[in-house]
């Protein structure tokens, strides 16, 4: 057996004060966020890249550990499209919203409420968090109604694509106020008893509103909102958003994001930010550093 060394010398060159500096930079943000609810829309590439997903889950576990209450609403666009293809069901969109036919809704409920939801729950749980997966059916969380096309999209039959009629946050409050982390799939139930597929951005904005979250983060697959010249916007108010929508600069998948952001800011959520989920640890970078990332949406 090898004899244990009597004296072990320390190599002080490995001490890095910069690490301490970074941690201390987070202190005021942790103090500010502790005890508050942060709603996070998880979507885009961050959901399909294993390493990004793990680091997102680490961020969430850290948030809960420092006394903040994260509530996650996830999308699943690319995975849904892939699974629908496996069943030979084509994906069709109008105004950035998926049109969901009778065959698609079953696949979508399985993929969103089953595969994706449980994958996120399991990833967070495996890293020491206590995540609980919910769909809008659990505890009567999301009442839905059929989505009606407006403007250029008037008359389009969105079939089983819904929008939020009302939210009953009881089950989320119960989990949120304890050590559990709610992870919500954007499926709702209509007064007609039908299951509706709802864009996750829309659900997340309503939940941020109902819970009066201190912050609402929307993770996506791009840097934030780009203006008409393709420049990344650091902050924009509601009038600015409306102008970019009218000009057609904000389109497709960015539309439900900005609608949900507008709903949240106008209903009293103090801080709404669209951030790039393809950046590792984007949640922690946005919440706990002076610099921050992405586009902030402000009230006028």
Q: Which of 81, 91, 106, 221 binds ligand ADP (CB under 6 A)?
A: 221
Residue 43 binding ligand ADP, by CB under 6 A: yes
Q: Which of 60, 89, 175, 254 binds ligand ADP (CB under 6 A)?
A: 254
Considering only residues 48 through 77, tell me which ones interact with ligand ADP, judged by CB under 6 A.
Answer: 75, 77
291 CB neighbour count, 10 Å cutoff? 7
Give ∠ CA 243-249-254 in degrees, rounded to 5: 100
Give ∠ CA 198-199-205 in degrees, rounded to 5: 105
Which span (107-115, 209-217, 251-259, 260-268) binds ligand ADP, by CB under 6 A? 251-259
CA distance 2 to 23: 39
CA distance 281 to 239: 31
* Shortest spacing between CB 180 and ligand ADP, in angstroms: 25
Residue 251 binding ligand ADP, by CB under 6 A: yes
Q: Which of 33, 44, 184, 209 binds ligand ADP (CB under 6 A)?
A: 44
List interacting residues with Mg ion (CB under 5 A).
253
Residue 267 binding ligand ADP, by CB under 6 A: no
* Shortest spacing between CB 65 and ligand ADP, in angstroms: 26
Residues binding ligand ADP: number (CB under 6 A): 15
Following DSSP, what letter does each residue of 177-190 receive, concatenated?
A: TTTEEEEEE-EEEE
Residue 220 binding ligand ADP, by CB under 6 A: yes
Give the CA distances from residue 85 to residues 14, 43, 94, in Å, rounded to whole numbers and listed in that order.
52, 20, 18
* Shortest spacing between CB 77 and ligand ADP, in angstroms: 5
Q: Which of 30, 66, 210, 226 binds ligand ADP (CB under 6 A)?
A: 226
User: What secondary structure, in 3-state letters, does 217-273 show?
Assistant: EEEECCCCCECCCCCECCEEEHHHHHHHHHCCCCCCCHHHHHHHHHHHHHCCCCEEE
Contact residues for 144 (Cβ-Cβ < 8 A; gap 6+): 136, 162, 163, 164, 165, 188, 189, 190, 196, 198
* Shortest spacing between CB 14 and ligand ADP, in angstroms: 40
Residue 120 binding ligand ADP, by CB under 6 A: no
Cα-Cα-Cα-Cα dihedral sign, residues 121, 123, 126, 129: negative
Which span (15-23, 97-105, 151-159, 248-256) binds ligand ADP, by CB under 6 A? 248-256
Residue 294 binding ligand ADP, by CB under 6 A: no
């Amino acid at each position: 057996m090898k004899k244990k060394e009597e004296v072990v010398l320390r190599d002080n060159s490995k001490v890095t004060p910069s690490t301490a500096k970074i941690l201390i930079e987070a202190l005021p943000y942790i103090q500010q966020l502790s005890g508050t609810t942060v709603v996070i829309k998880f979507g885009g590439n961050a959901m399909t890249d294993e390493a990004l997903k793990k680091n997102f889950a680490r961020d969430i576990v850290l948030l809960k550990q420092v006394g903040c209450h994260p509530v996650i609403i996830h999308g699943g666009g690319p995975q849904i499209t892939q699974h629908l293809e496996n069943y030979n069901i084509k994906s069709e969109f109008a105004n950035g919203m998926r049109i969901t036919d009778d065959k698609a809704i079953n696949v979508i409920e399985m993929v969103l409420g089953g595969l994706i939801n449980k994958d996120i729950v399991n990833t967070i749980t495996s890293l020491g968090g206590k995540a609980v997966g919910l769909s809008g059916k659990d505890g009567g969380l999301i009442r839905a109604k059929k989505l009606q096309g407006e403007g250029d999209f008037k008359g389009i039959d969105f079939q089983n694509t819904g929008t939020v009629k009302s939210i009953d946050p009881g089950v989320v409050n119960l989990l949120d106020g304890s050590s559990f982390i709610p992870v919500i799939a954007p499926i709702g139930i209509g007064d007609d008893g039908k299951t509706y597929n709802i864009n996750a951005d829309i659900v997340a904005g309503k939940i941020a509103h109902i819970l009066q979250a201190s912050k609402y983060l929307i993770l996506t697959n791009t840097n934030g909102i780009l203006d008409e010249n393709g420049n990344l916007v650091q902050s924009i108010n509601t009038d600015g958003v409306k102008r970019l929508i009218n000009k057609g600069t904000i389109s497709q998948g960015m539309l439900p994001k900005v609608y949900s952001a507008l709903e949240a800011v106008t209903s009293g959520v103090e801080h709404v930010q669209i951030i790039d989920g393809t950046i590792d640890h984007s949640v922690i970078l946005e919440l706990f550093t002076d610099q921050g990332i992405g586009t902030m949406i402000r009230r006028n």
